[in-house]
Amino acid sequence: MKRTLLAVAALCAATLAHAADPIKIGFLVKQAEEPWFQDEWRYADVAAREKGFTLVKIGIPNGEKTMAAIDNLAAQKAQGFVICAPDVKLGKAIERAAKRNNLKVVSVDDRLVDGSGKPIESIPHMGISGYQIGKQVGEGIVAEIKARKWNMAEVGAIRVAYDQLPTGKERTTGAVDALKAAGFPAANIIDAPQAKTDTENAFNAANIALTKNAKFKHWVAVGLNDEAVLGAVRAAEGRGIKADNMIGIGIGGAKAAENELNKPQPTGFFGSVMISAKEHGYQTSVNLFNWITGKATPPAEVLTKGMLMTRANQAEVRKAMGQ
Ligand code: FCA
């Protein structure tokens, strides 16, 4: 009897201690230096202040750092984390590490996949429909080609490609499909595979594509994010192809795009399909917080929307997106 009472008392104490544990949430991103991810962190900080949890922000540029970050969170007694992994194929390893450490996990931006490349449905995800957002890019370019009355036969399209990332491939596929649907010649679309998803690697990839295809009079460029398109725009500038002869539309709409769209003179970076860093940073963190505190289980998948932003409509788009 006495032993049972003691056991019950110990259990109550443990439960109380648990209930009183401060909530700590990790926010792990693959490219901490990219403005998009800085924005996600900034909005996650807003959620932390509002809900009263501690946010631990960690950059995870590779698999090793990812695993170390998860162990680190467990050691700090965190209860869960939001993640945009450096490689979506780490999905199963991330899921196992989370389980082992009793951490809840949700993914953001890049959906984690299993060994056969299938999305891991058990990890709640917030991202975008890459194909739809890509189509918005392509449609924006088509409208501008028409406004400039270019002959599509004389236009080259650079697809800065990062096909190993499913959302990357979906985005650029959506973009080129929209071009083709408007009669853009498929033969004028040139793939420029980038080794990493930053401006420098996009620049190098686009430079090769431009060198090999000097015959085109005008150019357009698409890629998985603003950095990819900025790389292509900079490479074109290096070859004397400026705003008059280049229409680049990126994806993101964070600081990289903002800086470019606010330059005194227009550049070949015509616009960006703005997506919601606010929802991706704030809402994923709140969803995870609610899950940890037993208030609600996050939706299995949420795909957020984007809006085409150009020099002309920046203020409206930012207002509509609440950013
Ligand atoms: C991917 C890209 C980022 C950003 C995000 C929403 O992770 O690499 O640049 O576009 O999706």
DSSP structure string for 87-133: SGGGHHHHHHHHHHTT-EEEEESS--B-TTS-B-TTS-EEEE-HHHH
pLDDT at 3: 54
Closest CA to 302 of 124, 37, 174, 167: 124
Q: Give 4's pLDDT tier (boundaries 50, 70, 90).
A: low
Asked whether 279 lines ligand 1 (CB < 6 A), one says no
Mean pLDDT for all residues in the chain? 95
Residue 36 CA to ligand 1 center (angstroms) comes to: 7
Q: Which alpha helices (DSSP H) does the chain contain, by range?
A: 2-20, 35-51, 63-75, 91-100, 130-147, 166-181, 199-212, 226-238, 255-261, 277-278, 284-292, 314-321
HSE, side-chain direction, 13 A CA sphere, residue 55:
26
The per-residue pLDDT for range 47-81, each reduced to its tens digit, is: 999 999 999 999 999 999 999 999 999 999 999 99
- Ligand 1 close to Cβ of residue 84 (< 6 A): yes
Per-residue confidence band for 1, with pLDDT thresholds at 50, 70 and 90: very low
Does any ligand 1 atom lie closer than 6 A to the CB of residue 197?
yes
Q: Which of 43, 84, 201 to mutate to test the pocket of ligand 1 (most atoms within 8 A of CB)?
A: 84
* Residue identifier of the C-alpha nearest atom 6 of ligand 1: 109
Q: Which residues pair with 161 in a beta bridge?
A: 193
Q: What is the pLDDT of residues 117-146, one digit of tens each?
A: 999 999 999 999 999 999 999 999 999 999
**For ligand 1, is residue 203 a contact (CB within 6 Å)?**
no
Compute the distance from residue 182 Cα to the ligand 1 centre, in Å: 27
Rounded distance, CA 83 to CA 131, Å? 22
Q: β-strands 24-29, 80-84: how paired?
A: parallel
Pocket test for ligand 1, best of 129, 169, 224 (most atoms within 8 A of CB): 224
